[in-house]
Amino acid sequence: MPVYSDKVMEHFMNPRNVGEIENPDGIGEVGNPVCGDMMTFYIKVDDNQLSDVKFKTFGCGAAIAVSSIVSEMAMGKTLEKARKITPALVAQELEGLPKNKYHCSNLGAQALNKAIDDYLKKPGKKVKSKKRRKDEKE
């Protein structure tokens, strides 16, 4: 293997959260099969928290491991915290990535962010959720 860490190998062999979510609250698709990697993240948001995260990935071992670890890192986090999952954190969590695979960790964070963006820009969603919380608190 291109000097993948054990952690990368483990996530590649047994990726978590593979799949799609029916009626997701947000979808984020990044990359392009023409370039070699493509990731689609599906999220379910409950009370500003990621109650479910799933993905489908076309790409190399690193891309799959990155998708898997990002889904794991994001699961249960608030949207704000999930947004703080940076490529550097992803690479660190995977105990390192070969240099020419850094872009994969970018893709993972991007796809998650795009799914959150997608959720936030759905009509009403953002307001509704914020409102609802306010309402509930009041």
Residue 64 as a binder of another protein (CB under 8 A): the answer is yes
Residue 14 as a binder of another protein (CB under 8 A): the answer is no
Given the structure tokens 């993948």, which residue do they identify?
4
Q: Which is it for strands 37-46 and 26-32: parallel, antiparallel or unpaired?
A: antiparallel
Angle between helices 102-121 and 125-137 (to 10 degrees): 70
Q: What is the DSSP letter of 14?
A: S
Residue 39 as a binder of another protein (CB under 8 A): the answer is yes
Q: Is 104 a catalytic residue?
A: yes
Closer CB to another protein, 19 or 47, in the complex? 19
Residue 56 as a binder of another protein (CB under 8 A): the answer is yes
Residue 20 as a binder of another protein (CB under 8 A): the answer is yes
Scanning 32-40, 43-51, 71-79, 118-126 for contacts with another protein by CB under 8 A, the matching segment is 32-40
**Which of 7, 16, 29, 83 is in the footprint of another protein by CB under 8 A?**
29
Q: Three-state secondary structure along 19-33? A: CCCCCCCEEEEEEEC
Residue 34 dihedral angles phi and psi, to the nearest 5°: -60, -35
Question: Which active-site residues does the annotation give?
Answer: 35, 104
